[in-house]
Amino acid sequence: MKGKLIAVLPEWLKEWLKKLLLCLRKTKWMLLYQGNKKFCPVCGKSSRQFVRFKNSEGARCLYCSALERHRFAWLYLLQKTNLFDGIPKKMLHVAPEHCFEIKLKELLGDSYLTADLSGSRAMVKMDITNIEYPDQSFDVVYCSHVLEHVQNDKKALKEFFRVLKNNGWAILLVPITAEKTFEDDSIITPLERLAVFGQEDHVRMYGKDYIDRLREAGFHVKVTKVGDLAQNEEAEKMGIATSAMREIYFCTKS
């Protein structure tokens, strides 16, 4: 009966009810998690704890949905880069994270470009192995957890190097899940990839030698760990303490 009643409602009312329910649900969660034990550097808000994401407890910010890797990367952008110095920069953001996208668009305006192969939400559709922009087009390139989906990642890295300005910088992150990078072009089905690489659409597992791929593309690489940005108690509050094995790869041309 309830379903039939909703079905006959006008579309505008359905949308209004949907937004109302989402708002009520979010308000409930905010009240439940009200506190200051945890702090998200992305949105600048505090909560009693971060909420569950998939199989991970205390992983996601209630307000902006930033995960551990997002909070770590944003902290790095704040502390170690010139992104927020007020000087205009042309930035390419591949497969934009929603928690970053709104803030970067506000910061950079028309100088901010988002790109994705699907193009569903991004500004432009882009194959990062064939970037249709001239040499030295961007001051900043940010690409996180994308290359493990790309068959020819070495070509993509060379493209990032090509479109980056000589005095620009790039942050190119991947999940490091092995001692040494492993890939096999004969592994093509989703089930095989899930079994071998850990996800249906991954084409390799990256190891600690990922930095060598960055250097082969021409980049100079500086590595930063969580401990370089925050001490134990502070890192725990921001929910990045378990990122101890994560690294930020800051890439420049010189």
Mean pLDDT value across residues 172-187: 93
What is the DSSP annotation of 14-40? HHHHHHHHHHHHHHHHHHHT-SSSEE-
Tell me: do 98 and 7 sit in the same domain: no
Burial class (CB in 10 A: 0-12, 13-18, 19+), 60: buried
The whole-angstrom separation of Cα 198 and Cα 209 is 19
Residues 182-195: what's their mean pLDDT? Answer: 92
Examine the pLDDT at 7 and tell me if it is beyond 90: no
Q: Is the pLDDT of residue 219 over 90?
A: yes
The answer to whether residues 128 and 183 belong to one domain is yes
Taking residues 116-143, report their average pLDDT.
Answer: 94
pLDDT (mean) for 133-153 = 97
Biggest CA pair distance of the chain: 67
**What are the distances in angstroms from CA 167 to CA 9, 58, 74, 89, 132?**
57, 38, 21, 11, 21
Q: For residue 103, give the amino acid letter.
A: K
What is the pLDDT averaged over residues 19-29? 70
Residues 10-37: what's their mean pLDDT?
A: 74
pLDDT in tens, 58-86: 789 988 999 999 999 999 999 999 999 99
The pLDDT value recorded for residue 55 is 76
Residue 234 located in a structural domain: yes
133 and 193 housed in the same domain = yes
The reply to whether 103 falls in a domain is yes
Between 72-76, 169-173, 195-199, 238-242, the lowest mean confidence (pLDDT) is in 238-242
- In percent, how much of the chain has pLDDT > 90? 72
- Does the structure show a pLDDT above 50 at 1? no
Distance, in Å, from the CA atom of 216 to the CA atom of 196, rounded to the nearest integer, reads 26
Number of Cβ within a 10 Å radius of residue 6: 11
- Which class for 121: exposed (0-12), middle (13-18), buried (19 or more C-beta within 10 A)? exposed
Tell me which H or E stretch contains 106: helix 98-108
Residues whose CB is less than 8 angstroms from the CB of residue 159 and which lie 6 or more positions away in sequence, other chains included = 128, 129, 130, 131
Q: Assess if residue 48 is contained within a domain.
A: no
Whether residues 94 and 189 fall in one domain: yes
The predicted model gives 190-217 an average pLDDT of 94
Domain that holds residue 88: 67-252
193 pLDDT exceeds 70?
yes
Q: Is residue 154 part of a domain?
A: yes
Is 117 within a domain?
A: yes
41 falls within a domain: no
Mean pLDDT of 34-62: 87
Tell me how far apart the alpha carbons of residues 234 and 215 are, in angstroms, rounded to a whole number: 32
Residues above pLDDT 70, as percent of the chain: 91
In a shared domain, residues 22 and 140? no
Average pLDDT over residues 102-121: 92
Domains in the chain, number: 2
Whether residue 148 is contained in a domain is answered as yes
> Is 24 in the same domain as 74?
no
90, 94, 100, 71: which is closest to 238 by C-alpha? 71
Residues 4 and 127 in one domain: no
112 and 217 fall within a common domain: yes
119, 234: one domain? yes
Q: Is the same domain home to 143 and 27?
A: no
Q: pLDDT confidence of 243, banded at 50, 70, 90?
A: low
Q: In what order do the strands lie in the sheet with 164-173?
A: 124-125, 112-116, 91-94, 138-144, 164-173, 247-252, 220-225
Supply the pLDDT for residue 244. 52
Would residue 54 count as lying in a domain? no
Q: For residue 70, give the nearest of 122, 145, 126 by alpha carbon.
A: 145
pTM: 0.85
Could you tell me which of 202, 80, 95 has the C-alpha nearest to residue 141?
A: 95
Residue 194 clears pLDDT 60, i.e. is over it: yes
Q: Is the pLDDT of residue 137 over 90?
A: yes
